[in-house]
């Protein structure tokens, strides 16, 4: 797994809690900070160890942790991919273009392996995204979506249906925040 997921976990724990808590997470996961942060790639088991340790130390659950980590990271992701976005888009337009623009870029230029997204616009205010991934990170995507919506001034309802390695995210735009 590319280091970006690890950076999201680290960023969320440090931003919302502290650097000391992050070090406790690594200790609980049995990982040395220098070893963990020096590598560009980690196997999925290491990611799960760090994620499980963070969930335990923060007394939360996987869905809540991943959603909050996605919310925390969303503004930075939008800023990093500003060049790929049309200023006239709303959040649903953005989500339709993540795969062909942003994910394609990180695969080709950064060597990352984000899951393939298959968005389908149901109507003007509804988008369904089908994702296949063994990593079980659907709620991270939910957090990204909620964070993107906030940045775009859109209010959305996000429903996640996760089954094994396949999940569907339904995004309903309910209103524009004034």
Pair 20, 45 in one domain = yes
CA distance 149 to 173: 9
Count of domains forming the chain: 2
CA distance 120 to 132: 15
Give which of 142, 159, 150, 157 is closest to 177, Cα–Cα: 150
Question: Stretch 30-56: mean pLDDT, rounded?
Answer: 79
pLDDT, tens digit, 9 for 90 and up, residues 87-115: 898 999 989 888 756 656 566 666 667 77
The answer to whether 49 touches 30, Cβ cutoff 8 Å, is yes
Pair 41, 97 in one domain = no
Question: Stretch 152-162: mean pLDDT, rounded?
Answer: 94
CA distance 157 to 148: 12
Does 105 map to a domain?
yes
Radius of gyration (C-alpha) of the chain in whole angstroms:
16
Does 66 map to a domain?
no
Which residue range is the domain that position 145 belongs to? 77-176
pLDDT for position 87: 86
pTM summary value? 0.88
Residue 175 pairs with which residues in a beta bridge? 155
Helix, strand or coil, per DSSP, at residue 41: strand
Does 69 map to a domain?
no
């Amino acid at each position: 797994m590319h280091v970006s997921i690890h950076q999201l976990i680290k960023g969320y724990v440090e931003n919302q809690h502290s650097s000391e808590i992050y070090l406790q997470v690594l200790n609980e996961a049995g990982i040395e900070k220098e070893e963990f942060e020096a590598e560009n790639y980690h196997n999925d088991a290491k990611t799960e160890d760090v994620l499980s340790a963070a969930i335990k130390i923060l007394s939360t659950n996987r869905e809540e942790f991943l959603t909050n980590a996605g919310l925390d990271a969303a503004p930075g992701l939008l800023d990093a991919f500003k060049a790929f976005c049309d200023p006239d888009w709303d959040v649903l337009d953005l989500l339709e273009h993540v795969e062909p623009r942003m994910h394609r870029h990180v695969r080709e230029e950064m060597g990352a392996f984000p899951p393939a997204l298959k968005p389908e616009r149901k109507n003007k205010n509804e988008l369904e995204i089908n994702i296949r991934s063994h990593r079980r990170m659907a709620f991270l995507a939910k957090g990204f979506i909620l964070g993107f919506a906030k940045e775009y001034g859109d209010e959305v309802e996000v429903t996640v249906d996760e089954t094994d390695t396949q999940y569907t995210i339904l995004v309903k735009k309910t209103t524009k925040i004034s």
